[in-house]
Amino acid sequence: MSNKYNTKLFEISKDSKKLNWKDLHKQFVKGTAFENIGSEDHNIKEEKYYLYYDQKPIGYFCLGRDKETMQNIGILFMAIDKKMRGCGIGKQIIDFSKDYVKNKGEKRLYLVTMEKLKNLINYYESLGFKYKNSYYHLWLKDGTQLPFSSKRTYNLQKDNIKNYFKFNRYFCDI
């Protein structure tokens, strides 16, 4: 890992320091659009990274392949402590991810964000990301998460659905 990502502000590490992923999710998404949808463990061919400031967790993100196509590496989830937002951490995560993609011999990084997060979308576009497509995720009351696209349909009762959101996928050539 290059030292350029270990700044005075924070450290990126694969070491969870025995932190529980789901507990971190609850901590960092409280008060956001993701608060009421539960957490995915992100355990299928994905790499988890933890962010620390002064030895304390300030966020996390994971990198992995698109689950439907298994092509392209992307930032599948990113959460940063509210107190640390606006400090350039997101930009450094994106730079780290671009280097990760290059080191894997790939030429494209993707990320996913909720369609309603317009400020975040504008920020990603300012960094060179371009809109690719949209899809929905459904969360059932039993905690099951179902990606929903034009390729898949589910026979669901409306009262079984806890929540759903529209997501946009963006790509950036490296």
- Tell me which of 130 and 82 has the higher pLDDT: 130
Mean pLDDT of the chain: 76
Within its chain, how far is the Cα of 71 from the centroid? 16
In terms of residue numbers, what domain contains 34?
Answer: 3-134+167-173
- Strongest mean pLDDT among 18-22, 62-66, 142-146: 62-66
Compute how many other C-beta atoms are within 10 angstroms of the C-beta atom of residue 161: 14
Q: What is the CATH number of the domain that holds 110?
A: 3.40.630.30
151 domain residue, yes or no: no
Q: What's the domain count of the chain?
A: 1
| Res. 86: pLDDT tops 60 | yes
For 107-164, the pLDDT digits (tens) are 999 998 888 889 889 999 999 999 998 877 777 777 777 766 544 556 666 677 777 7
Model pLDDT, residue 155: 61
Q: What is the DSSP secondary structure assignment for residue 155, as one 8-state letter?
A: -
For 35-59, the pLDDT digits (tens) are 544 445 444 457 888 888 888 888 8
Model pLDDT, residue 135: 77
Model pLDDT, residue 42: 43
Model pLDDT, residue 2: 42
159 domain residue, yes or no: no
8 domain residue, yes or no: yes
Strands 130-140, 73-80: pairing is: unpaired
Model pLDDT, residue 9: 59
115 domain residue, yes or no: yes
97 domain residue, yes or no: yes
Q: Which two tokens stand for residue 146?
A: 């179902």
45 domain residue, yes or no: yes
Model pLDDT, residue 48: 83
Question: Which residue, 61, 59, 60, 63, is CA-closest to 45?
Answer: 63
94 domain residue, yes or no: yes
Q: Confidence band (pLDDT; 50, 70, 90) for 32? A: low
**What is the spatial distance between Cα 62 and Cα 48, in angstroms, rounded to a whole number?**
4
- Residues 6 or more apart whose Cβ sits within 8 Å of residue 46: 62, 63, 64, 76
152 domain residue, yes or no: no
Region of 173 on the Ramachandran plot (φ > 0 left; ψ -120 to 50 alpha; else beta)? beta
Q: Is the dihedral of CA 95, 98, 100, 102 positive or negative?
A: negative
Model pLDDT, residue 68: 64
